[in-house]
Amino acid sequence: MQLAELQALMRETYGRQDRARGIDASFGWFVEEVGELSRALRRGDHDRRVEEFSDVLAWLASLADQAGVDLEEAAARYADGCPKCHACPCACAHEIH
């Protein structure tokens, strides 16, 4: 599935209720899912990690849609590797991104 397809599917599936909830409350749900992903990375098995990554992606797509951001456009920022040095792998000296 392409990012644009995911974003469109999340808009179709949850868009009305997510917009009614608003971006601030939706961001709260996103942060909660990131916390669940953190726990799955530390203690979960593969299936649990897949589930939590999918939830984070779904909320990210919803937030991007509410904010008027196209995820394909956002991802294109990394099309040439590191957006700062444009190298792949990153050649930035001693920087943590």
Closest CA to 66 of 21, 9, 5: 21
Give per-residue pLDDT as tens, 72-89.
999 999 999 999 999 999
Domain spanning 3-76, CATH architecture: Orthogonal Bundle (1.10)
Consecutive H or E run containing 76: helix 71-76
- The predicted structure's pLDDT at residue 96: 64
Alpha-carbon gap, residue 80 to 29, rounded angstroms: 32
Task: Give the residue carrying structure tokens 């917009």.
Answer: 19
Residue 30 — very low, low, confident or very high, per pLDDT cuts 50/70/90?
very high
- Token pair in block for residue 22: 């608003």
Say if CB 47 and CB 41 are below 8 A apart.
no
